[in-house]
Amino acid sequence: MQSAPLAHLAHLAHSAHIDYLLHLADNALVLGQRNAEWCGHGPILEEDIALSNISLDLIGQARLLYQHAATLKGDGSTEDRLAYFRDAPEFRNYTLLELPHTQALVGYAVDNRDYAVTIARNFLFSALMALLWEQLQQSTDAQLAAIAAKSLKEVRYHLRHAHDWLLRLGDGTDASHQRTQAALDHLLPYTQEFWTDSAFETQVAQQGVGVAVTRVKHDWETLVNNTLAEATLQRPSSAGFVTTGKLGVHSEHLTFLLGEMQSLARAHPEGVW
């Protein structure tokens, strides 16, 4: 029989494990939903298709992670319940991923979507996940390791897509260069959140379920710096306010995103096709 403190520790480990799965799932779902906004509105047909395919991959990864988290919770949760019936403070995605496709200080106007922001964000996040999924293949959680092996194949294509477009836009016309530089200036400070410690990440890293994200920081920096140099873009400062989306404290944008995404499921709970 476990003593009370041991039972308490086991409970903490279990809830950190679930929080970590939700963090990975929410990252994938929120960016998948954001990128899906380009479906039918892409700058060119090929990019419309590319972004829709990338969203499909991300939402597929989110589904696998939510199903796994629901099983571990063991309280009758389902992937749909986790995706559609949690509110913004329960989402654990990085703030970076919920931002609209706009430059800083433009607000949320749909008309002002800027593909340079989309590409810069996809690059920064795909670079992180290509490194993280690779490490997570060794997770002590066999199901998470299996999801990582699949997701790694997909994110490599996402990274390749964003990387090639970053080169084309950065080393393109004056206008594309200027807009891509502005997108990076806007987004890079949000990547500070990748490297800040959180209780659940520390816990899962100790368990071997997760990876201390700082382990991939060096490689991420190298990849970002090399690509920006190749794209003739400047690496902006990433100082300033550190966002806290993974702790559930988000920007105002997540509520709008969830409002749109969750409205159908909430209007028809338990509805099936």
User: Applying CB under 8 A, does 250 fall inside the site for other proteins?
Assistant: no
| Structure letter (DSSP) for residue 215 | G
Bridge partners of 3, per DSSP, are none
Output 145 or 265, the one with its CB closest to other proteins.
145
| Window contacting other proteins (CB under 8 A); options: 45-53, 109-117, 176-184, 241-249 | 45-53
Give the Cα separation of 123 and 121 in Å (integer).
5
Considering only residues 80, 164, 171, 185, which one is a binding residue for other proteins as defined by CB under 8 A? Answer: 164
User: Applying CB under 8 A, does 118 fall inside the site for other proteins?
Assistant: no
> Interface mask (CB under 8 A) for other proteins, residues 64-83, using x and -?
x-------------------
Considering only residues 112, 140, 222, 232, which one is a binding residue for other proteins as defined by CB under 8 A? Answer: 222
Output 8 or 153, the one with its CB closest to other proteins.
153
| Window contacting other proteins (CB under 8 A); options: 52-60, 78-86, 96-104, 190-198 | 52-60
* Identity of the residue numbered 225: N
What is the token pair recorded at 203?
Answer: 């816990």
User: Applying CB under 8 A, does 61 fall inside the site for other proteins?
Assistant: yes
Would you say 37 and 113 are in contact if contact means Cβ atoms under 8 Å apart? yes
| Window contacting other proteins (CB under 8 A); options: 12-20, 42-50, 101-109, 241-249 | 42-50
Residue 81 burial by Cβ neighbours in a 10 Å radius (0-12, 13-18, 19+): middle
Letter string b/e over residues 4-42, b meaning 16 or more CB atoms within 10 A of that residue's CB: eeeeeeeeeeeebbbbbbbbbbbbbbbbbbbbbbbeeeb
* Cα distances (Å, whole numbers) of residue 121 to 32, 41, 149, 158: 12, 18, 23, 11
Which residues form the interface with other proteins (CB under 8 A)?
Answer: 46-47, 49-50, 53-61, 63-64, 130-131, 134-135, 142-143, 145-147, 149-151, 153-154, 156-157, 159-161, 163-164, 216, 218-219, 222-223, 226-227
